[in-house]
Amino acid sequence: MDLKGLEPLSGTAWRIPPRGAMRVPAILYGDSALLREMDDKVREQICNVATLPGIVGAAWTMPDAHWGYGFPIGGVAAFAPEEGGVISAGGVGFDISCGVRTLLTGLPRQRVEAIRERLAEALFRAIPAGVGSTGLIRLDEDEMTAMLAGGARWALEQGYGRPEDLERIEEHGCMSGADPEQVSPRARHRQRDEMGTLGSGNHYLEVQAVAGIHDPGTATAWGLREGDVVVSIHCGSRGLGHQIGTEFLREMALAARQHGIELPDRELACAPLESDIGRAYLGAMRAGINCALANRQILTHLTREVFGRLLPEASMELLYDVSHNTCKEETHEVGGRRRRLFVHRKGATRAFGPGHPELPAAFRGSGQPVLIGGSMGTASWVLAGTREGEGLALSSACHGAGRAMSRHQARKRWQGRRLVDELAGRGVLVRSPSMRGVAEEAPGAYKDVDAVVEATHRAGLARKVARLEPMICIKG
């Protein structure tokens, strides 16, 4: 990206003043090196977002931003319904509520290293992964409706998990306002036998070691100790979420014209929050969030079963579960007053700071855990939300490394089998049903996650707590 025309606010924040149809400024987070690596399309897309009706404050991008559908991935924007604010399926994304949850084992790395090969094979057999992967769970219509309404709470009622898990999940495991009736028969059919599966793309289950502690007090409070092993699960709402996005984008393209909304890009198809289509999408999208929460809850149960057989002394306590691709109704202070807003976070993580009333008691003193997934074979991070993040980007932070090249480009550059062998030589065991998928997710296809996290930390969006390094990666 050409930095010409960007006003530096600090070493990690840049402003594009409103021009043309922009209603608010665009603010891009990241140091100059990260921004130069970004495609110019990121700049174009976030400026387009700033033209949408009812947008409040600014349109933001996180340090891991890259080109996406309509909104850039790593884009954040909030809309006020009383000002004609809109909701955009492209501002949520196709993989609704794609997110990360991290489990604590309480075990030292040496204990897991001793059975690493057996553990990798057992997890690969137990966790369905890959394009079109299916599990052993098959939902009928009534069960599907209950799952879409209940999220992780429904999964717990089916025997998947522990009651205390719900306190460590955003929305306490169930997104209110879900309307399963707005989820089409096609979307339901696609999800019928995909519960408890990772899927493909950048989804994974990783066994990781805590390689460095950057905030000892917070790490201790959260049960993170250097040298201990954790497990992170990254996945979302699978085919159901993708189908919801596909269908509503078509309807929103028509709705925008009907409501006189001028779109700078058809991919920004949207509808007023208080319109029939806007309310219908909110109900379907919230059901998609519940699908993702239930899916990660089932995967947690399957993971605990494997550890229970091979490492029965592992505690497998849930640290936290965060979502990336959502639109949530929240109250934020903008322009000196508290306002009810609908915050789109596409490839961005909610990052409430210390004292926020929506946080569980365990995190009120420290701020919300912010779980940053790396690319295959590279580090991941645990961060904490900050108080100043509220004023910087409505309590939002990065979500991962962010792609540096397309999957097509990655396939041309790397071979999956060779990558698996190279990573094994570095002590990372990769298990995947698709060598093509491995090539697409090559570590070199992504930005430097450490640089992204450092920029996030320096900007004040979230602060560093612990760095994680992979030991085993089950790849979709």
Give me the active site residues, please.
399
Query: Rounded CA gap, 326 and 349, in Å?
Result: 9
Cβ contacts of 61 within 8 Å, gap of 6 or more: 26, 27, 28, 29, 30, 42, 46, 72, 74, 75, 76
Q: Which pairing describes strands 429-431 and 462-475: parallel, antiparallel, or unpaired?
A: parallel
Per residue, what are the HEC states of the chain? CCCCCCEEEECCEEEECCCCCCCCCEEEECCHHHHHHCCHHHHHHHHHHCCCCCEEEEEEEEEEEECCCCCCEEEEEEECHHHCCEEEHHHCCCCCCCEEEEEEEEEEHHHHHCCHHHHHHHHHHHCCCCCCCCCCCCCCHHHHHHHHHHHHHHHHHCCCCCHHHHHHEHHHHCCCCCCHHHCCHHHHHHHCCCCCCCCCCCCEEEEEEEEEECCHHHHHHHCCCCCEEEEEEEECCHHHHHHHHHHHHHHHHHHHHHCCCCCCCHHHCEEECCCHHHHHHHHHHHHHHHHHHHHHHHHHHHHHHHHHHHCCCCCCEEEEEEECCEEEEEEEEECCEEEEEEEEEECCEECCCCCCCCCCHHHCCCCCEEEEECCCCCCEEEEEECCCHHHHHCCEECCECCECCCHHHHHHHCCHHHHHHHHHHCCCEEECCCHHHHHHCCHHHECCHHHHHHHHHHHCCEEEEEEEEEEEEEEC
Cβ contacts of 303 within 8 Å, gap of 6 or more: 103, 123, 126, 127, 205, 231, 233, 316
* 33 dihedral zone (left: phi>0; alpha: psi -120 to 50; beta): alpha
